[in-house]
Amino acid sequence: MNKSAISVAILLALSGCAQQAAQPKVVPENAVSMRGDLARQERILQQKAFAVESAPTQQRQTPVITLDHYARNLVHDLMANHHRVEEQAMVAVTDLAFLDSDLQHGSVFTNHLSEAIIYDLHLFGVPVLDFKVTDYIRVTEKGDFVLSRDFSELSAELPIKYVVTGTVTRHQAGVMLNARLIQIDNKRVISAARTFVPAAVYNAILQQRQDNSLKLKQG
């Protein structure tokens, strides 16, 4: 055998080895072998799908935005005319009444809204007077309290010059809040604000109260 024949045989042998090396490996069907951004997105989708399937079906979905955010918007708008208010004058906050009532009806929603407004007014440096504070601490088996809604337990006269009040209008998609800052002696509207609260945020507070009632009845 001449040298040229030997060279051809060697080349054929090397090319055969290269073809064998280039052949793809056999991967089992149930194996996971993914790389790159596309594979990463697929893994994320798989994880999300698994999380959804494994989540309890009765788990409550808590809204990301709470009523406190809408109360803050109201206070920001009300304080846009804060320069017209005496700096050290006391401000009281009442419940916003439902518009389709005799303006004497609130709810746990309006109760919480007034609490949130008090908080944000305080952050603005506004002197807020809490007229529901009694002159004593009531010690009971259910707890120790200083707040009351009994008119006979509250002070008859307080140095309140301004009051935050307003109305709540029920809507199919939520509730409309109309708030105003009023000078109590002449009934003058110093400033006004409006915001819309979606039904999910409105119902979240009512649902929590209903759950508490159910737990008490079951206990």
Question: 24: which DSSP letter?
Answer: P
Range 41-50 average pLDDT: 47
More confident call, 136 vs 31: 136
Residue 50, pLDDT score: 39
Neighbours of 134 (CB within 10 A): 14
Under a CB-based contact definition with an 8 Å cutoff, are residues 111 and 95 in contact? yes
Question: Is beta strand 160-171 parallel, antiparallel or unpaired with respect to 90-93?
Answer: parallel
CA 185, distance to chain mean position in Å, is 37
More confident call, 212 vs 73: 73
More confident call, 186 vs 206: 186
pLDDT (tens digit per residue) in 143-172: 898 888 887 887 888 888 999 999 999 998
115 sits in which H/E element: helix 108-123
pLDDT (tens digit per residue) in 9-21: 555 555 555 555 5
103: left (phi over 0), alpha (psi -120 to 50) or beta: left
More confident call, 146 vs 6: 146
Letter string b/e over residues 70-91, b meaning 16 or more CB atoms within 10 A of that residue's CB: bbbbbbebbbeebeebeeeebb
d(CA 179, CA 164): 7
* 92 pLDDT higher than 50: yes
Range 55-83 average pLDDT: 73
Residue 74, pLDDT score: 92
Residue 18, pLDDT score: 52
Distance in angstroms between the alpha carbons of the first and the last residue of the chain: 101
Range 49-60 average pLDDT: 43
More confident call, 217 vs 78: 78
Global model pTM greater than 0.75: no
| % of the chain exceeding 90 in pLDDT | 26
